[in-house]
A and B are shown apart, each in its own frame.
Chain A
Amino acid sequence: MKLLIYLIKIIQKLGRKAEYFCVSIGQILKISLVSLSEALTPPFYAEPFLKQLISVGFNSLPVVGVTALFTGAALALQIFSGGSRFNAETVVPSIVAIGMTRELGPVLCGLIVAGRLSSSIAAEIGSMKVTEQLDALKSLSVSPIRYLVTPRLASSVICLPILTLISDIIGILGGLVIGITSLQFSLLVYTEYTIKFLEMSDIYSGLIKSVAFGIIISLSGCYFGFTSKGGAAGVGKSTTSAVIAASMLILASNYLLTAFMFQK
């Protein structure tokens, strides 16, 4: 009898988790669709959008740049060290370029921006929710999704590919600096090998990924902000959840997109 009650309790718990999961997916889909439809229909809020462009794009540049620079440099050292085991040191420029453009550029940029942005979006919207500012928006005939989500979503979708491109360039430059100063490459040879083996599809694939990451980052922040409960502690939890969810989804979607684009 006790075992039966225990089993029922486990099933109830699982049921509740499944319900919560389905409701969350439904809410994220709803926010995405409403946001998309409101992004395409007037009124458009230029000022909040421009503010977000600066916040997402310009303010993320230093941290994205520094991360890419050191990653590119470390990657060059690792490939040189690994490649020297089978006399393939010359692959350093091309592998750094391909690695940065296809994987490390978009993924690191996505994860860094997720840490910065998902948390700040969730905290901002969450604190607006617990202080009734979202209700105030509705009472002023302004849709919270149009005013808060659409500018963030649009700016993330625009800024992430640009940041990724910058990250790719800085990462490759990081490799180049190490290649010239520590690995005995000449500037000419390193540049030639980088350009020779890098294809446009490598760059495009990273940029396509970054668009998906931009959507994930902004929607994750907005969803956890809108579902914040219970004052400052609730906002703190939402902030953490937003970053974790965005990071996990970035890594999972990175695999799926890579499999889709490169698996033959």
Chain B
Amino acid sequence: MSGNGTGKLSIDRIKLSLDNQLILNDISFDLNTNDNTDSITIIGRSGAGKSALLKCILGIYYPFSGSIKFNNQPILKRNKEIFFNKLGMVFQNSALFDSLSVWENVGFKYLYGPNKMPKKNVKKLAEEKLERVGLSIRSANQFPIELSGGMQKRAAIARAIITEPKILFFDEPTAGLDPITARKINYLIKDLISDSKASALTITHDINTVNTIADRVFLMNEGKFVWIGCRKNMKTSSDEYIKDFLNTE
């Protein structure tokens, strides 16, 4: 599964333990991050280890064995900077900063990150991105608490795409949204991935998200991938885990 080479995020046999419990067990996969867009969706029940995997890649959790490499180099120091410059992440509950306005949230990376820009330019850019994700300029000066769940999600997506990243991570992008808003968010993500030619890694348990944006699907159970395949093969698969997941959904 894992391989070497550039333009790749390579996860190789990682194992993670939290509070003496094995959360991830021997997880390996590659995400192509060059011009050929690659959209992986990791599905599974709550507590399967999906979000923990994402946090390992972000360097929030440290696996006790295995490696996570970007462009064939561990994600450390200079390579970490390069990786994070190419990354945009949307968190499960949007994770917008309460004390900042919506435009400051969207432009945060340019206001406080390593590639700072003048405030005026950041605001203009943030407003452009807000329009791109379907939010009005009026919402730019509001605070996150004043937005609905769907609008917060859109603002979080705008924050993730402000640097036009080549890698996008989505953690449960439709969690807590009504079906109509969830559908709109799914199509928005699909458009963004194809427009920006970015690769995406999406964590979800929403089958509609899988059907809309996934190229490859990894089913996770108890910290392991138990099924890997194309989205199209899911419905015809005789795998018990996949059947179980599709029936539950």
B234: Cβ under 8 A from any A Cβ? no
Distance to closest chain B CB from A131 (angstroms):
6
Establish whether residues A133 and B108, one from each chain, have CB atoms under 8 Å apart when the complex forms.
Answer: no
Cβ-defined contact, B114 with A138, below 8 A:
no
Shortest CB-to-CB span from B37 to chain A, Å, is: 20
Are A136 and B89 CB-contacts (below 8 A) given A141-B81, A141-B84, A142-B108?
yes
* Cβ-based interface call for B116 (8 A): yes
Q: Which residues of A contact B159 (CB under 8 A)?
A: 140
| CB pair A135 B60 closer than 8 Å | yes
Contacts of A182 in B (CB 8 A): none
Report the nearest A residue to B156, measured CB to CB: A136
Q: Which residues of the other chain, B, contact A133 by a CB distance below 8 angstroms?
A: 95-98
Q: Give the distance in Å from the alpha carbon of A154 to the alpha carbon of B187 in the complex.
A: 46
Against B, the Cβ 8 Å flags (1 = close, 0 = not) of A129-154 are 00111011011111000010000000
CB distance from A251 to the nearest CB of B (A): 32
Most B C-beta atoms less than 10 A away, residue of A127, A128, A133, A139:
A139
How near does chain B come to A149, taking the closest CB pair, in angstroms?
14
Interchain CB contact under 8 A, B116 and A139? no
Beta-carbon contact of B109 and A136 below 8 Å: no
The closest CB in chain B to the CB of A136 belongs to: B95
- Is A45 an interface residue, CB under 8 A from the partner? yes
A136-B89, A138-B59 given; A43·B95 CB < 8 A? no
- Cβ–Cβ contact A138 & B58, under 8 A: yes
Which of B93, B97, B114 is the one whose CB lies under 8 Å from A141?
B114
Q: Kindly state the separation between the CA atoms of A197 and B61 in the bound complex, as whole angstroms.
A: 59
B181 within 8 A of A: no
Interface of A is mostly: helix
B92 lies within 8 A of chain A by Cβ: yes
Checking B59, B91, B113 against A136 with a beta-carbon cut-off of 8 angstroms, the contacting residue is B91
A43 to B169, CA, bound (A): 27
Q: Residues 85-124 of chain B: 1 if any A CB is under 8 Å from the residue's CB, otherwise 0?
A: 1010101110111110000000011001110100000000
Give the residues in chain B near A127, CB-CB below 8 Å.
98
What separation, in Å, do the CA atoms of A122 and B112 have in the docked complex? 22
Q: Which A residues are CB-close (under 8 A) to B232? A: none
A132–B93 CB distance below 8 A: yes
Known contacts A43-B116, A141-B84, A141-B113; is-contact A135 B108 (Cβ 8 Å): no
Complex CA gap A1/B212 in Å reads 64
* Shortest Cβ gap from B245 to chain A (Å): 25
Q: Which of A23-74 contact B (CB under 8 A)?
A: 43, 45
A138 to B159, CA, bound (A): 14
Residue from A127, A132, A135, A136 whose CB has the most chain B CB atoms within 10 Å: A136
CB distance from A225 to the nearest CB of B (A): 14
* CB-based contact A132/B84 at 8 Å: no
**Cβ of A55 to closest chain B Cβ, rounded Å:** 11
Q: CB-CB < 8 A to B95: which residues of A? A: 131-133, 135-136
Q: Name which of B58, B89, B92, B112 has the most chain A CB atoms within 10 A of its CB.
A: B112
Interface flag for B243 (CB, 8 Å): no
Do residues B91 and A140 form an inter-chain contact, with CB atoms below 8 A?
no
- How far apart sit A4 and B99, CA to CA, in the bound complex (Å)? 55
Shortest beta-carbon distance from B219 to chain A in Å: 24
Of A43, A45, A128, A138, the residue contacting B60 (CB under 8 A) is A138
A51, B98: Cα distance in complex, Å: 14
CB B16 to nearest CB in A, in angstroms, measures: 15
Q: Is B184 an interface residue (CB 8 A)?
A: no
- CA gap between A136 and B99 in the complex, in Å: 14
Is the Cβ of A142 less than 8 Å from the Cβ of B112? yes
A132 and B59 within 8 A (CB): no
Shortest CB distance A173–B (Å): 36
Complex alpha-carbon distance, A184 and B113, angstroms: 63
27 contacts between A and B (CB under 8 A): A43-B114, A43-B116, A127-B98, A128-B97, A131-B93, A132-B92, A132-B93, A132-B95, A133-B98, A135-B58, A135-B95, A136-B89, A136-B96, A136-B97, A138-B59, A138-B60, A139-B58, A139-B84, A139-B87, A139-B89, A139-B91, A139-B169, A140-B112, A140-B159, A141-B81, A141-B84, A142-B108
